[in-house]
Amino acid sequence: MKTFKGLDAVSSWAGLAALVLLAVMPVVFTSNYLVGVLTVAAIYGIWSVSWDFMSGLTGRENFGHSLFIGVGAYAAGFLNVQFGLGPWWSLPVSMLVAMVFALVLGFPTLRLKGPYFALAMLSSAVIMQRLMLIFWEYTGGEEGIQDITPLIANHLHYYWFVLAVLGIVTLLLSWLAKSRWGLILRAIRGDEATCLAAGLPITHYKILSLVISAAFAGLGGALYAHYQLQVSPQLFAVVTSITVITMVYVGGMGSIYGPVGGALLLTVMTEGLRDFGEWRLMVYSMLLIFILFFLPNGIIAPVWHKWRHKGQQP
Amino acid sequence: MSALLEIRQLDKHFGGLHVLKHFNMTLQAGEIVGILGPNGAGKTTLFNLLTGFIPADSGEVMLHGKSIRQMKANAIVGMGMARTFQLCRPFIGLTVLENVLVGSLGPRVKHHDLGERAMHLLSQVGLADKAQQASESLSYGDLRRLEIARALATEPELLLLDEPFAGLGSIEIEALSALIRQLHQQQHLTILLIEHKLREFMQLVSRVVAIDFGEIIAEGSPSEIVNHPRVIEAYIGKQNPLDWDPHA
């Protein structure tokens, strides 16, 4: 039975091969610039898969994912700079802080029907960005928190570490998505009332999926803080959430692995378009509109799915 | 013997509209009872109240002697009451098998091999060969069967069917009617159903509760109900609404 088998072998091997390819690319091309681009792409990958786990599977779109990313990054900054703790503490603590935020926000908002969850999350991220500016004595205001210690000093080694985290997060969330729990989340996307009629406590499942999603967004936030060596309120901006959501759409929503491809594609595309100078944003937007118009289900997941089921009866 | 379901003085308003008026009813285990009434009589509201989808203003609902009035919809399923909807509501994006599996993930089900059990239920309703199809690709008749299979997957003792024949042709109605009868007789399932297709409805149920404007206007066997003056009045005002001879 497909649903309870977990990941299929071909997809797992393909994922592993893609990770190995990404790992050796900077070694082959020996470019520090490429290491930087791929590190940021991998962090966006973590944010995208974490968004997809909750919103892609349940259909409850979170427009405030930047909140969890931001609190994860600031938790790392505070721990490291203000409290002087070693950088490795950031990883579990940023996850924990993001989970607490998800629990506090998800508990009242995920009970509501309609767009209230999306609006509440969007507003929360905006409020948090303003709070970072209002309490500038503690948060550093516009400047944010500077001089964060790197987790791993060598950039290539750090990239490999981030890539490994991305692989583990994607594997874990894909496994969860294929489990009974994932089936329930997809059923919630299908029809909430029917889920209740099947005896399922849907709010409980939605809150738990948001908490898990937030944990990995927070982890990605901490990894970003230890890569940039600073955090600023800009991380909470709506544009961060929108970028992540766009990556998920381009990769293929609800597939978990697709958004990793979406994150890589869009990050590399952004960098590749630098030659266009001031026209860069326009070309980027045109390409994005082209992709979403002609491939509304995304690129990575639908193409992979079509290739895997080639020759099979529809 | 205590009743399986007992409804006492159940009352519901929607704004200024009194949709259910101090409703009383008892259902014994193993019965198959029909709720009859014209559009807007309060039948689906009654189902929504019983299954916890909307809260009652006052009154009491007892299942196995325990109050379920304050319970959430999913908890009521855990007590052994399952329902289908007037309009089919499959889980879009899931296969037929996955739709039934979702029903098996509730609190009552203790089986280990849920897949095998889901396939058994699909065989029972005649959908085994469509198990891997997308649920949205099913015909309306098959969607009705899928709804029943999903409700059965929760292992109910009491099954509430909201207009199971709606939108079906005569052959499909006959087959579905046979399936409901089989579930009742072979699995000793207690069934409460609402239906507008009165001929099939009256042949299926052993007792009818007729309601109009949220209150019971008649209760009895199908033959008693079809000739009841208040039922006739509620339907068309003049003559036997069913064009059906119970002795034929």
Whether A291 has a pLDDT exceeding 90, the answer reads no
* Spatial distance between the Cα atoms of B6 and A173, rounded to a whole number of angstroms: 45
B229 is written with which tokens? 């003056």
- State whether A3 and B77 contact (CB < 8 Å): no
Q: What is the pLDDT of residues B162-212, one digit of tens each?
A: 999 988 888 999 999 999 999 998 888 999 999 877 777 888 999 999 999
Q: What is the mean pLDDT of residues A204-209?
A: 96
pLDDT of B47 strictly over 60 = yes
Q: Directed axis angle between helix A202-228 and helix A155-178, to 10°?
A: 170
B56 and B160 co-located in one domain:
yes
Tell me what pLDDT residue B167 has. Answer: 86
* Partner-chain contact A201 B83, CB within 8 Å: no
Residue B107 and residue B182 share a domain: no
pLDDT at A207 over 90: yes
Q: Could you tell me if residue B11 is inside a domain?
A: yes
Q: What is the pLDDT of residues B132-173, one digit of tens each?
A: 999 999 999 999 999 999 999 999 999 999 999 988 888 999
Residue B151 lies in a domain: yes
Contact check, Cβ <8 Å, A202/B97: no
The token pair at B215 is 């209150």
One domain for residues B163 and B234:
yes
Q: Is the pLDDT of residue A247 over 70?
A: yes
A190 touching chain B per CB within 8 A: yes
CB-closest option in A3, A186, A200 to B106: A200
Query: Closest Cα of chain A to B242: distance in Å?
Result: 32
From chain A residues 196-215, the ones with a CB under 8 A of any chain B CB are 196-202
Tell me what pLDDT residue B169 has.
87
pLDDT for residue A310 is more than 80:
no
Region A167-186: what's the mean pLDDT? 94
Name the residue facing A190 among B53, B94, B108 (closest C-beta): B94
* Number of domains chain B is built from: 2
Residue B87 falls inside a structural domain: no
Same domain, B229 and B144: no
Q: Is residue B119 domain-resident?
A: yes
Please indicate, yes or no, if residue B76 is contained in any of the structural domains. Answer: yes
Residues B120 and B199 in one domain: no
The answer on pLDDT for B25 being more than 80 is: yes
Q: Which residues of A touch B52 (CB under 8 A)?
A: 196
ipTM topping 0.85: yes
The average pLDDT across A166-189 equals 94
What integer pLDDT is reported at residue A40 of this predicted model?
Answer: 95
> How much is the CA Rg of chain B, to the nearest whole Å?
18
Number of H helices, E strands in chain B: 9, 10
Confidence band, pLDDT 50/70/90 cuts, at residue A278: confident
- The pLDDT value recorded for residue B223 is 87
Q: Are residues B63 and B31 in the same domain?
A: yes
Average pLDDT over residues B95-113: 88
- For residues B60 and B175, membership in a common domain is answered with yes
What does the alpha-carbon distance between residue A312 and residue A256 come to, in Å, rounded to a whole number? 23
Report the DSSP beta bridge partners of residue B161: B193
pTM (two decimals): 0.88
pLDDT band at B240 (very low <50, low <70, confident <90, very high): low
H helices of chain B, where? Answer: 43-50, 73-78, 96-104, 114-125, 140-153, 170-186, 198-204, 222-226, 229-235
Q: Is A184 in contact with B102 (Cβ distance < 8 A)?
A: yes
**Whole-angstrom Cα distance, residue A160 to residue A22?**
9
Question: A6 pLDDT band (50/70/90 cuts)?
Answer: very low
Identify which of B35, B69, B39 has the alpha carbon closest to the alpha carbon of residue B54: B69
**Chains A & B: contacts with CB separation below 8 Å:** 88
Q: Do B160 and B216 belong together in one domain?
A: yes
Chain B residue at shortest CA distance from A254? B93
Yes or no: say if A63 and A239 are a contact pair by the CB < 8 Å rule: no
Provide the domain limits for residue B160. Answer: 1-80+156-248
* Chain A touched by B51 (CB under 8 Å): yes
- Inter-chain CB proximity B93 and A186 less than 8 Å: yes
Contact A6, A180 (CB under 8 A): no
Which has the minimum average pLDDT: A261-270, B183-192, B219-228, B231-240?
Answer: B231-240
Q: Is residue B125 part of a domain?
A: yes
Q: Is A113 exposed, middle or buried (0-12, 13-18, 19+ CB in 10 A)?
A: exposed
Residues B68 and B111 in one domain: no
**Residue A43 is inside which H or E element, if any?**
helix A32-51
Collect all residues with Cβ–Cβ distance below 8 Å to A110 and sequence separation of at least 6. Answer: A60, A117, A203, A206, A207, A210
Within 10 Å of residue B145's Cβ, how many Cβ atoms?
Answer: 24
Question: Running DSSP on this structure, what letter comes out for residue A63?
Answer: T
d(CA A85, CA A83): 6
Provide the mean pLDDT of chain B: 89
Out of A113-117, A125-129, B77-81, least confident range: A113-117
Which CATH number does the domain housing residue B179 bear? Answer: 3.40.50.300
B16 within domain boundaries: yes
Q: Which residue of A has its CA nearest to B54?
A: A193
Angle B86-B89-B92 (CA atoms, 0-180°, nearest 5)?
165
Q: Looking at beta carbons, which residues of chain B come within 8 Å of A184?
A: 102, 105
Instruction: Name the residue ranges covered by the structural domains of chain A.
Output: 2-239
Q: What distance in Å separates the CA atoms of residue A150 and residue A56, rounded to the nearest whole number?
A: 32
How distant is the alpha carbon of residue B216 from its chain centre?
18
Domain end point (choices B106, B124, B155): B155
Task: Look up residue A275 and give its two tokens.
Answer: 């030659």
Nearest-angstrom CA–CA distance, B100 and B81? 16
Q: Flag whether residue B103 sits within 8 Å of chain A, measured between CB atoms.
A: yes
Contact across the interface for B73 and A202, Cβ inside 8 Å? no
B244/B202 Cα distance (integer angstroms): 9
Spacing of C-alpha A163 from chain mean position:
13
Residue from the list A1, A180, A199 with its beta carbon closest to the beta carbon of B77? A199
Over residues A189-196, mean pLDDT: 92
Neighbours of A119 (CB within 10 A): 14
- Domain check: are B2 and B22 in the same one? yes
Nearest CA in chain B to A4: B115
Place of tokens 């079809």: B226
Please count the residues of chain A.
314
Please indicate, yes or no, whether residues B140 and B164 belong to a single structural domain of this protein.
Answer: no
CA distance A285 to chain B (A): 30
Do B175 and B63 lie in a common domain?
Answer: yes
Angle, in degrees to the nearest 10, between helices A65-77 and A90-109:
150
Lowest mean pLDDT among A141-145, A263-267, A298-302: A298-302
What pLDDT band is residue B110 in, cutting at 50, 70 and 90?
Answer: confident
Of B74, B84, B90, Cβ closest to residue A200: B74
B86 inside domain = no
Residue A181's closest chain B neighbor by CA? B105
